[in-house]
Structures are given as structure tokens and as C-alpha cells.
Amino acid sequence: MTSVARADFCCLYVVQIARGRIKVGQTVNPEQRLSMHRGIAEAHGCVPGGEWVSPRGGGSTATENDLIAFCNERATARFRWEYFTGVPFLVAVREAVRLCGDREAAALLAQPRAAQALTELAERRKKAGVLLPVLLEAAEEQRRKNPWLGRPGRCTEAQAAEWLGSTEDRVMALIAAGEIGHLPSNGKRRLFLRTADVERVAGRTG
């Protein structure tokens, strides 16, 4: 399986949870997260408004922190970490769009009914990415089985033993039998094993 990074899936989002109050953040599952926020708002008698969701990969800790700082400077009140009062929805979205380079949403901001258009765009993006969190969980499971997945194709005897659920003596026996090979040393004192060979053995014995 190809290595998948969480950052490849993350979306930045802005949701108006009540008149004059917004919530910002990032998530790998925007459909579930925004539905949760809207449900909480409605349970407290609020009427949620517009939504904006970035394309996949638009969310990161850096962009989220920048957006939080932007809103914090303009808010009249702040609740918890990501809830702001006094920051207009479209003002927050405009900054979020700039941070993640969302050209499609930038064009919609110029429209007369921008909030509605952005919400419709968010709905399309949420539906399009509904299976991605499942893929992310599968990728993370692969990393648990192979801690160095996505790293250079080399590993140590100890790592190979961990991967195979065996001992280093067993790994050395596989090396002696030609089942697992070493990478060229390039003049370095330490030899590494070929990850592809270990993966092949793991697939045969797993």
C-alpha cells in the first residue's frame, strides 16, 4: 500500500454556528465534524449559517493556527480555542481561502450570495471525500504493522525482527539463506537490509 500522510486528507473549515459566532478548525472528516457542530448549535437553539471547507490537503496545523490568530485579533469574544464572536463569516472565510490558496472559493466570494455559494461548495467537497477517512485509517493500520512504511527502503536486523514478529537470530538465518539481502554499503560501516525483501518474507509468513 502506498504511504498516506494525514496532511494529505486534512481540510480547513469555517462554520457559522449562530448569528455573529463562528467555529474554525481542521479535520479529515468534514462531513461528520460540521454535522456535529451544527447539531450542537441547533440543540442550543441557534440557527447555523454558512459553511466553507477547503480542498483536501488545505488543512494543517500551521494554517489552522494562522486562521485562529487572525480571528482572535478581530473577535469581541472567544470561547474555548476555536469559537469566535464578532468575526463575520465571510471575513474569516476570505482569510482561510488566502491561507490555503483556494481559488474556486475565492471566485465565489465575489458573488452577491457568497455565503450560500460557499455552503453549496462545502457540501460537494464533503460528499466527494466521504471515503478518505476510511483510507486514512487503513494507512495508519499499515504503519502500525510496519513502523518504517514510507521511509527509505532499508531497515536494521532489529527492525526486521520486529516486523516479522520474530528474533534477530531468525533474521540472520534468513539472510544466510539468501531470503533477505543487504543494500550496498557505499563505504559505510553499517549494512542495512532491503525492506522489500523483509516485506516479501512477511507476506509469505503472515
Same domain for 103 and 169, yes or no, is no
Beta strand segments in the chain, E: 11-18, 21-27, 51-53, 77-79, 83-85, 154-155, 193-194
Same domain for 188 and 89, yes or no, is no
Q: Tell which of 133, 163, 180 closes a domain.
A: 133
What single DSSP character describes residue 9? T
Same domain for 98 and 150, yes or no, is no
* 0.75 surpassed by pTM: no
Q: Are 181 and 200 in contact (CB under 8 A)?
A: no
The reported pLDDT for the residue numbered 33 is 87
Q: Is residue 141 part of a domain?
A: no
Which residues are within 8 A (CB) of 156 and not within 5 positions of it... i.e. 6 or more apart?
Answer: 192, 193
**pLDDT tens string 45-102:** 888 899 999 998 888 888 999 999 999 999 999 987 789 999 999 999 999 999 999 9
The reported pLDDT for the residue numbered 52 is 96
Reported as a pLDDT band with limits 50, 70 and 90, residue 134 is low
Determine the Cα–Cα distance for residues 40 and 47; give it in Å rounded to an integer.
10
The reported pLDDT for the residue numbered 56 is 84
Q: Is residue 173 part of a domain?
A: yes
Give the dihedral sign, CA 174/178/181/182.
Answer: positive
Which CATH number belongs to the domain containing residue 176 in this structure? 1.10.10
Q: Which residue has the cell 542495512?
A: 192
Q: Tell which of 92, 108, 133 closes a domain.
A: 133
The reported pLDDT for the residue numbered 3 is 42
Q: Are 84 and 78 in contact (CB under 8 A)?
A: yes
**pLDDT tens string 144-190:** 655 555 455 677 787 777 777 777 788 888 888 888 887 765 555 55
Q: Is residue 164 part of a domain?
A: yes
Has residue 119 got a pLDDT over 90? Answer: yes
Q: Is residue 196 part of a domain?
A: yes
Q: Over range 9-36, report the average pLDDT.
A: 89
Q: Are 201 and 174 in contact (CB under 8 A)?
A: yes
Q: Is residue 140 part of a domain?
A: no
The reported pLDDT for the residue numbered 135 is 56
Q: Over range 10-39, report the average pLDDT.
A: 89
